[in-house]
Structure formats: C-alpha cells, structure tokens
Amino acid sequence: MKTPANFFKPLTIGAPEPIRELPIALERTIHFLPPHIEKMRAKAGQIAQKVDVLLGNLEDAIPIEAKEAARTGFIEVAKAVDFGPTGLWTRVNALNSPWFLDDMTEIVGTVGNQLDVVMIPKVEGPWDIHFVDQLLALLEARHRIRKPILIHAILETAQGVKNVNEIAQASPRMHGMSLGPADLAASRGMKTTRVGGGHPFYGVIADPDEGKPDKSKEQRAFYQQDLWHYTVARMVDACQSNGLRAFYGPFGDFEDSLACEAQFRNAFLQGCVGAWTLHPNQIEIAKWVFSPEVEEVRFAKRILEAMPDGSGAVMIDGKMQDDATWKQAKVIVDLARLVAEKDPERGAAYGL
C-alpha cells in the first residue's frame, strides 16, 4: 500500500494532479456504441443527447477483424461530436490482449482531452489498476492532458470479486465499477447461458403443507431469486465505502424489457447509480429506473423539511423518521435534483 502522503501525487512528472473527489454527474445510462459501424457513428451525436454517458466499445462483441476500425471509429466520433454534459467513455480491450496498448496510446494521444473515463475489462486485482494508472500518467504527461482520465473497472472474474475492495482502493483515478454478469458467470463456472438477468431455476421452494402427504411441485410455490444479489451487494459496499459509483452491466435479452427493468431496479434499490444500455430500447428503461420515483422524492422532501438540521425524531404518516432516514431522504432528493437539471419534465413532477 502507498503511504497516504503519496497516494495523491501524480505518477509521472507533468501528469495532471489526481482528483480527490469524483465530479458530480448523472450516470444512469452508459450507452454502448459499436464504433466500427459507420451507421452507428453517424448516429452518435443524436444518441449522445439522449443518454448520460456514451461509450465507444472496443472489446467483446467487436469482431477481431474490426478492432482497429472500432478504435479509429471511436476517435473519429470523439473528434466530431460535441458531447456537452454527456460523458465520453471507452471500453478498451483487456490488458492481456494484443490491442490494449494501441487502444490506450492512440486514444489518449488523439482525444485524451475529450475522454472522461476508460473502462477496463476483466480486472483481477489492484495490480491491474496500478498498471493502467501508471500508463495513463505517462500518456497524459506526453500529450499534455489537462484533467486526469478516470478508470472504471468491470467486475467480471471470480478473482476480481474476491479483490473488489482492493480494486476500489487502488488509485485516486478510480471512478467506479460495473458488474459484468456474462464473463463473471463463465469465470465462476455458473451453469447459465445468458448475458445477465435471472434464471428460472434459481430460487426457493415453499415447504409442503404440514400434514399433507402431497409434496409435489404443483402444491408448492416457487420464488425466483436474483442471481446477482450477492455480487451487486459486494460491489456497492466496496464502491460506496471508497467514494466510487457502482453500476449494473449488460442485460442481453433485448425483447424482455420487463425483466430488464426488474434487474435494473434491484440494482438501483441496492445502491447502483446506473446500468449499461446495449439497445436503444433500454435507454428509456434505464433513465426511468435510475431516476427516483416521484412519490419517493415527495416523501423524502417532507422528511428533510420536517427535520431541518437532520437530528432528533419525528413521525410522518405514522412512520418514524430519524437521522438515518434523513440521510436516506437526502440521497433521494440530491439525485432528484440532478435528474431535474437534466430532465426538466421529470423535475417538474418532483416539485423541488
């Protein structure tokens, strides 16, 4: 571990000062753009206005023969589009791939001043972050990048989950983490064939009725459970305790919007701030789910108003409120204010 005095020092002479606190940003949707496809590049400016973050994907799902085209396509988009308040990220290829080094050097060298965050796949431990941290500092110094490029890790290996807290603490560049359920399922040896979401066999079955000899399936309720509950909880704890943001990753069944919404909502309620959107029909789902509910915001506002300094206890509609519910209410109202700034229609419904 680095000493606290050295933790916030630039790793290369001439690299920008590391940040001490994440910039405030609404990041409900990280929308994945395949930048090797010309039609998608042409739509990038339009999509950027609808999402909170636009990410140029260079890793999985990009065919091997299109890896270079995706990289140059991303650079083209980053140069051409005015992103305004929308974040610009890229997912580079994995550290052990033949493309990673050129992804980093070419992108930082050409559009490093536009890039907010680089997403690193298959992070196994803090050593991966240290390596990217140093490389970024060298590239930033060489190309006179003005603000530090942040790192977002995908949590998608069994080893990465084991080391989740050390990854979160590895660098002041850490922005947050996303759950990568597809690679994680493979790494863990889970017996599934899906990109995220639940599984109909993963659940609990009710006891048979006492005294009844019939123990058959038909007589007993089965409740499907969330396969990702444990991992999301570990990721949220590691992120929140280190001042980072946690995200649910991809949901692969584009036709099942109800299941996508349910998975995103579980993540939201557990503390995640956003999710990946791979298909345009997931953008509105993510924006809706990761914005607080109107009734919840109004109730939270009543809590804050009833306890102006956040101390003591009051009753509202028969429910006890104290310091802890005041803090929960503040999380919701702060998020609602951010949403309202970007989305005045939703903001009006909040009545802030």
Q: Which residues bind ligand GLV (CB under 6 A)?
A: 60, 154, 156, 180-183, 195, 249-250
Give the separation between CA 44 and CA 64, rounded to whole angstroms. Answer: 22
DSSP state letters, 262-294: HHHHHHHHHT--EEEE-SGGGHHHHHHHTSPPH
Q: Closest Cα to residue 56, out of 17, 106, 98, 96?
A: 106
Nearer to Mg ion, 154 or 297 (CB): 154
Site string for Mg ion, 97-136 (x = CB under 5 A): ----------------------------------------
Residues 250-289 close enough to bind Mg ion by CB under 5 A: none
Give the separation between CA 102 and CA 50, rounded to whole angstroms. Answer: 30
Least Å distance, CB 94 to Mg ion, is: 9
Least Å distance, CB 154 to ligand GLV, is: 5
Least Å distance, CB 75 to Mg ion, is: 23
Out of 126, 160, 180, 181, the only residue in the binding site for Mg ion (CB under 5 A) is 180
Token pair, residue 204, equals 């609990």
183 touches Mg ion by CB under 5 A? yes
By CB under 5 A, the count of residues binding Mg ion is 3
Nearer to ligand GLV, 195 or 275 (CB): 195
Least Å distance, CB 269 to Mg ion, is: 24
Least Å distance, CB 215 to ligand GLV, is: 38
Give the separation between CA 143 and CA 12, rounded to whole angstroms. Answer: 12
Nearer to ligand GLV, 169 or 231 (CB): 231
Nearer to Mg ion, 145 or 155 (CB): 155
Token pair, residue 21, equals 């606190």
Nearer to Mg ion, 234 or 301 (CB): 234
Residues 138-177 close enough to bind Mg ion by CB under 5 A: 156
Least Å distance, CB 263 to ligand GLV, is: 12
Contact between 309 and 281 (Cβ < 8 Å): no
Contact between 62 and 56 (Cβ < 8 Å): no
Nearer to Mg ion, 67 or 287 (CB): 67
- The number of residues making up the chain comes to 352
Find all residues with CB under 8 Å of 26, minimum gap 6, and list them: 52, 338, 339, 341, 342
Beta strands 29-33 and 174-179, pairing class: unpaired
Contact footprint for Mg ion (CB under 5 A): 156, 180, 183
